[in-house]
Chains A and B, each alone.
Chain A
Amino acid sequence: MTATHSDYRLSQLDQLEAESIHIFREVAAEFEKPVLMFSGGKDSIVMMRLAEKAFFPAKIPFPVLQVDTGYDFPEVLACRDNWVNRLGVRLVVASVEEAIANGIVVDDGKTSRNRLQIGTLLHALEEGGFTAAFGGGRRDEEKARAKERVYSHRDEFGQWDPKMQRPELWSLYNGRIHEGEHMRIFPISNWTELDIWDYIGREGIEIPSIYFSHQRRVFERDGMLLTESEFNPTRPGEEASERTVRFRTVGDLTLTGCVESTASTIDEIIAEVAVARVTERGATRGDDRFSEAAMEDRKKEGYF
């Protein structure tokens, strides 16, 4: 960060940062009980960094909520703990396993953990009485997200109605909600995947090690490379082998594919992303591939 700008120009990354910080402060000022949804992925880590900056030298004035699918990468959980400890924020964990045990969601053996997260998350938001939940969604991720507002209104059932969204003008955000409703807040709406990496590189912040190239036993399924794991037994014909890989997104390990890569530094990742020919979700997220409108459907139900 340059301290002086003789020509009063702000780089696009600084402009994005300023916009996001503005959103964090606006929410902290206007909502009774905000919470930051932390997945451990790079986007939510950038959110943590922005929240840290927004309130410094005070602590982040809201807790962090993580939905534990039970199938999370241990490297991701370790990184989460480092962040939470360093910033001294309260961590709320909503466990899919517990939600299944308590009958909040039903594991029929066919529904992915990612989908079961929806019910678990909505329950945790309601239970905690949270009125605003920060999410790391970006508009460049997917077509259904391109029209998402920064403040995205959810009804008493946590649902998103694309036709009932409020117009959002200038930097004037409307945070009015009724009892039982909540607002999803997307402070990094205008960031692209490349911006996220540029920022992580510039800030020198910790992200889960699985984003970097490493050796891993993987097998191929539906054109994706999945991690060998007790949660994800190989099917006939699938054979695991050790490869040099890294992850482009972080989620339920039974569904999140990795790509073969030797990129072991942020700069190498940036170089790789800059020439990538397939979207991060298209490449490595089983949950988005089921239908062209998959994301739109999950969003309506109350997904992140």
Chain B
Amino acid sequence: MSTTSSANTNQGIGMDLLRFATAGSVDDGKSTLIGRLLLDSKAIFEDQLEAVEATSQSKGHDYTDLSLLTDGLRSEREQGITIDVAYRYFATPNRKFIIADTPGHVQYTRNMVTGASTADLGLVLVDARQGLTEQSRRHAVLLSLLRVPHLVLAVNKMDLVDFSQEVYDRIHAEFTQFATKLNIPDLEVIPISALQGDNVVERSENMAWYSGPTLMHHLEHVHVASDRDLVDVRFPVQYVVRPKSDEHHDYRGYAGQVAGGVLKPGDEVVVLPSGMTSRIAGIDLFDKEISEAFPPMSVTIRLEDDVDVSRGDMIARVNNAPKPSQDIDAMVCWMTTTPLHPRQKLAIKHTTRSARVLVKDIQYRLDVNTLHRDQDTKELGLNEIGRVQLRTTMPLLCDPYSQNRTTGSFILIDEATGVTVGAGMINSGS
């Protein structure tokens, strides 16, 4: 039986998407907040809620412990903490949300970096009673480093400070002051009580002094479409489509996901690193030809000329192309127990290009709590971040991470174990 596709009026079709990362320590009520967002947006099903209610009861709680909704793996449930990035989903009528839920403790910087790497928005929780802690500052630093364009500071447990405006104002001022040192284009500070639901979905009746949006309202309306680079054309070639069938005998298309800019048929383009130029003959999206392609579309591009293009190459504009670079200056987050040290050789994956790198120098280690740069450092340990100089075996077609999160990022891979050991954000290449 085949399905008939009616003119679709379903909301899911036209909804947009917000990916956000949450950070907070075990006691900040992060799991409770996520549980509440899921529950209030009806993303929680009866069988899940029943399981949580039963577990809450067996633990002797007199309330439903919403944090149990999200603590997934058995080892975590036993320890009562979250040990890895977990992804959660919910939707309101106009927007779908993907939460990268990251644990907050000090040793899990790598998870926070992972969760933030794909996020449009970062949500940092603080306990109103504690105010800003070293940990909340660190979370803000990491979100800024990963260039997450929007940040929300949720001042939680307002119920435990009598919904005091003074407490909120103090934390707000302190954080705003701290944020001046960071790259945070958009900041919102929202007083909430995750446990009681104040200002999460419903406006709080206990905080009449607060005139800003509720958390859910902000998440639903924050404008993210303009965060993508629509100016600088970047198209990393992922796969060459050559059907070699009778019907499509001469078809040769370059498949990939647009990393920046808007591409149109007729545009003059350059293929890197060869530097050959051609024009876009057509852009295919499955069986349709489209008139323009922009991030993050996955399309197939045909060129007018028979130039040599393969995976790892990049299509850009003649007067606006990244410079092929073998000397890379980057911030690296180290993610494994054996430290990173100069002279080390690693594999690198940058866009669709893989190469090898030599670590030339570790310039400094960044203290993510104080932003102090320790220049005496000789290595980077697990969960440490530092500025590193790398030499690659072949040129990378890169941009500064601050300009493009796709062409400015890379991962480092241990060649012996095959494990991802580092994440890099490019400052510059030459």
Q: Which residues does A use to contact B, with CB under 8 Å?
A: 1, 3-5, 7-19, 21-22, 25-26, 28-29, 52-59, 139-140, 143-144, 146-147, 162-163, 165-172, 174, 176-178, 189-190, 192, 194-195, 197-198, 200-209, 212, 265-267, 270, 276-279, 282-283, 292-293, 296
Contact = CB atoms under 8 A, between A and B. Distances in A.
B399 to A, nearest CB: 13
Interface stretch (B185-193, B211-219, B357-365, B405-413): B405-413
B262 interface: yes
A146 B10 CA distance: 26
Contact of B10 (A4, A56, A212, A267): A267
Contacts of A5: 292, 294
Contacts of A53: 286
Given A166-B419, A167-B420, A174-B349, A296 B5 contact: no
Interface in B217-235: 225, 228, 230
B297 to A, nearest CB: 5
Nearest first, the 3 A-B pairs at minimum CB distance are: A204-B5, A176-B418, A282-B47
Contacts of A176: 347, 413, 418-419
B409 A10 contact: no
Interface residues of B, number: 89
Given A169-B409, A170-B406, A201-B10, A15 B239 contact: no
Contact of B238 (A22, A144, A198): A22
A27 B84 CA distance: 24
Interface in B74-92: 74-75, 83-89, 91
A187 B84 CA distance: 20
Nearest to B259: A171
A167 B335 contact: yes
A16 B87 CA distance: 14
Given A18-B257, A202-B8, A174 B3 contact: no
A207 B16 contact: no
B114 A171 contact: no
Q: B89, B225, B294, B423 — which one has the most chain A CB atoms within 10 A of its CB?
A: B89
A84 B251 CA distance: 23
Interface stretch (B165-173, B242-250, B384-392): B242-250
B402 interface: no
Nearest to B312: A29
Interface in B1-32: 1-6, 8, 10, 12-17
B255 interface: yes
Contact of A207 (B3, B5, B110): B3
